[in-house]
Amino acid sequence: MSVSGIEALGFTPATFSPTLPADVSSARSEAVGSSGFADLVLDGIDRLESVQHRADALSVQAATGDLGAIHDYTIAASEAAVTTQLTVALRNKAVEAFTEIMRMQV
């Protein structure tokens, strides 16, 4: 890239050529594949389920008096809450993108 205006003042702009590691570019081409986003969402839901299951188990322990440490439950519960919010945010974005495309004039 050449910026003649400021080069005239003795300023050489820094050149930046982004290089991606090999595994990133291959992962990207996989994600672009037909089921990339669906897999991503399903993986997210699987993780959400396991996190919620752990929080549920700990809440049962809290109710029955078997809970070893209070923070185990509160941390699991907040982790589940944040994961749920993240999954819902992803789903909302996906739906938003879909409706945006559907509104496209052909």
Partner 1 sequence: MGAFDTLRIAGSGLGMHQTWLDMLGHNLANVNTARRTDQPAFQAQMLIAESQAGGGVRVDGVALSDPEGRLVHDPTHPLADEEGYVRMSELDLASQMSQLIMAQRGYQASVQVTKHAQESYGAALQIGRG
Sites of contact with partner 1 (CB under 8 A): 69, 71-72, 74-75, 78-79, 82, 85-86, 89, 93
Closest CB to partner 1 among residues 75, 95: 75
Degrees (nearest 5) of the Cα angle 101, 89, 93?
10
Give me 38's structure tokens: 């669906």
Q: How far is the CB of 15 from partner 1 (least distance, A)?
A: 30
Query: Whole-angstrom Cα distance, residue 59 to residue 53?
Result: 10
Q: How far is the CB of 71 from partner 1 (least distance, A)?
A: 4
Q: How far is the CB of 7 from partner 1 (least distance, A)?
A: 37
Closest CB to partner 1 among residues 25, 74: 74
Closest CB to partner 1 among residues 21, 33: 21
